[in-house]
Amino acid sequence: MSIELPETAGVTEQSPEELEALLDELVIGRDDHLNAPGYVIKPDTVVESLRRLRDDAGFDHLSCVTAQEYDDRYESIYHLKKFDDPTQEVSIVVPADKENPVSQSANAVFRTADWHEREAYDLVGIEYDEHPNLKRILLPDTWQGHPLGQSYDQDQPQVVPLREHKNPLLEDQRAASESETMYLNIGPHHPATHGVLHVKAVLDGEQVVDLEPDIGYLHRCEEQMCQNSTYRYQIMPYPDRWDYISAGLLNEWAYARVAEDMADIEVPEYAQVIRTMGAELCRMAAHFLALGTFALDIYGDFTAIFMYSIRDRERVQNILEDLTGQRLMFNYFRLGGVVWDLPEPREEFIENARDYLEELPTALEEYHDMMTANEILQLRTVDTGVLPPEVAKSYGATGPVARGSGIDYDLRRDDPYGYYDKLDWDVVVEDGCDNYSRLLVRMREVEQSAKIVEQCLDLLEDWPEDERTIQANVPRTIKPKDDTEIYRAVEGAKGELGIYIRADGTEKPARFKIRSPCFSNLQTLPEMSNGEYVPDAIASLGSLDIVLGEVDR
């Protein structure tokens, strides 16, 4: 009755001392985080250190890059993990000079560093040497100052001279007559960009020569908002708004996990079961929408599949509404548990959920009839948008995108939290690496989630009446010790959703960094679509299942 743990025998585990020996002369100090040993290195040895860790110690997953400014220095932190065993973590801390913050780019070792370092440059102001394309990513190019830096003046007007801000289309943008290619703006208002995404595409006829996603249209300073809120209550409503496509509880869990680990809060087992059930319901709802919109991208109009998947998602949302009181922005988790027990009458709720799960296989059969069994859909998706596993790893792709490329990586199993390790379910992996595999992964994950929810319902029904504790005893204010640092991740709907928090002894975090799975996944889009046809590029974008709220935060 419990999930098989992954084969970790082949993955050697290094002690912190061994790693220090491996890095040897590069290490100039230690700065351990709660989750991982941290090694301080010089800003010009980033590539060398990361390469050694990747090639000799097997840390092949650059999960996140956090940048922050202290009173006396800037700092970039590279959070490394192993795809084979994400519980092995290590942090590389790179201090940079306060006056002239320059640090070497990790782009040569991990391709994902490209965007992460651009974000660090944009928001904090660290400059990365040898970076191929160091320009702003979330804020407009004309922005002045770096908003998360200490010296940033929030009241300074963003004056942009007209010559910098004039309409770029006023000039004749037509290329020279010899040019074979056409430049095309896809978005930010385009039917298939799933939000306000702008894709700069260079086309040769119908084929994509080059493609560059341009993000930041939905940047809402979520990190800063969390930095201005208290740990105990005020941060929790915000994660709902990152991946706002019904994946709220999964996001809340990311914050709950990191804050609970930081403040050392024990969550009652009963609450963990409720959390697991709620989170999986959310995953089902999110995947239904992913299926529907992917079908929309392939089929064209508002077709039947889209409506059918919305119908099934709606029913999940009704269950979630009964449980949490809201349909999208749940705010249901609290540090140390959840806010409400199952709704009364409990039998009715359980019955309701079971009814739904019973009808689910019929609904899924319908999707298979209409999508996976459809020859034209196969023609369209098989072997298009190919993302080889090595490339996916280098870009830090996670979630269904990675699992569709044959990477057996799921934090629910590999870095267990909640009640997952005591339940019976499988991690879905497909080896096709194409759009079709990613579609299949999502469809099969819905089945697995249903399986988890079913087991949770059984557990909840039979739970002893006097042990139904939904919240641990948590103090009304939480003040972690000064300079406590932690990075923790959970398996969100789109992949690894991680949060880094640095405490400064107050009841608000000093640095709150979100590692968004969509942000890393979207980076793979050029890899998948260069050389493909426009419709396939659109389909690949759909298969990534991005939510711009989470990409831009």
Q: Which residues sit at the interface with another protein, rule CB under 8 A?
A: 182, 184, 190-192, 206, 225, 229, 233-238, 241, 295-304, 306-308, 311, 314, 321-326, 329, 331, 339-341, 343-344, 366, 369-371, 373-380, 470-471, 533-536, 538
Q: Give alpha helix (H) positions in 382-524.
A: 389-394, 399-403, 411-414, 435-462, 517-522
CB of 75 to another protein, least distance (A): 28
Q: Smaller CB distance to another protein: residue 190 or 451?
A: 190
Nearer to another protein, 77 or 235 (CB): 235
Q: Nearest distance from residue 340's CB to another protein, in Å?
A: 5
Residue type for 115, please?
W
* Distance separating alpha carbons of residues 439 and 435, to the nearest angstrom: 6
Considering the complex, what minimum distance in angstroms separates the CB of residue 234 from another protein? 4
Whole-angstrom CA distances from 60 to 45, 54, 55, 127, 400 are: 18, 5, 8, 24, 18
DSSP state letter for 421: G
Q: How far is the CB of 514 from another protein (least distance, A)?
A: 16
* Nearer to another protein among residue 239 and residue 526 (C-beta): 239
Q: Which is nearer to another protein, 19 or 537 (CB)?
A: 537
Per the CB < 8 A criterion, the answer to whether 335 and 311 are in contact is no
Check residue 533 and report its DSSP letter.
B
The two three-digit tokens of residue 517, written as one number: 């799975």
Contact 286, 527 (CB under 8 A): no
What's the rounded Cα separation, in Å, for the pair 452 and 462? 16
N-terminal to C-terminal alpha carbon distance within the chain = 38
We find the least distance from the C-beta atom of residue 325 to another protein, in angstroms, to be: 3
Question: At its nearest, how many Å lie between another protein and the CB of residue 223?
Answer: 15
Count of C-beta atoms within a 10 Å radius of residue 104: 24
**SS3 at position 489:** strand
Distance CA 300, CA 293 (A): 10
Least distance from another protein to the Cβ atom of residue 338, Å:
9
**Cβ nearer to another protein, comparing 132 with 205:** 205
Mapped onto helix, strand or coil, the DSSP state of residue 302 is coil
Rounded Cα distance, 29 and 519, in Å: 31
Alpha helix (H) ranges present in 171-268?
A: 222-227, 248-263
**Can you read off the two tokens belonging to residue 16?**
């912190």
Instruction: Compute how many other C-beta atoms are within 10 angstroms of the C-beta atom of residue 485.
Output: 24
Residue with smaller CB distance to another protein, 41 or 360: 360
- CA within 13 Å, CB half, 201: 27
CB of 189 to another protein, least distance (A): 9
Write out the H or E segment, with its range, that includes residue 314: helix 304-324
Of 71 and 344, which CB lies nearer to another protein in the complex structure? 344
| Closer residue to another protein, CB minimum distance, 136 or 190 | 190
CB distance 340 to 470 below 8 Å: yes
CB of 186 to another protein, least distance (A): 9
Query: 131: left (phi > 0), else alpha (psi -120 to 50), else beta?
Result: beta
Q: 401 or 541: whose CB is closer to another protein?
A: 541
In this complex, which beta carbon is closest to another protein, that of residue 108 or of residue 370?
A: 370
How far from 182 is each of 167, 176, 186, 197, 476, CA to CA, in Å? Answer: 20, 11, 12, 20, 59
Nearest distance from residue 181's CB to another protein, in Å?
12
Say how many CA atoms lie within 13 Å of 276 toward its Cβ: 32
d(CA 138, CA 123): 8
Least distance to another protein, CB of residue 462, Å: 19
Least distance between another protein and beta carbon 45 (Å)? 42
> What three-state secondary structure class fits 331?
coil
Nearer to another protein, 528 or 538 (CB): 538
Closest CA to 534 of 214, 210, 292, 294: 210
Residue nearer to another protein on the CB measure, 48 or 341:
341
Q: Do 111 and 522 meet the contact criterion of CB atoms below 8 Å apart?
A: no
Nearer to another protein, 140 or 300 (CB): 300
* Shortest CB 192 distance to another protein, Å: 4
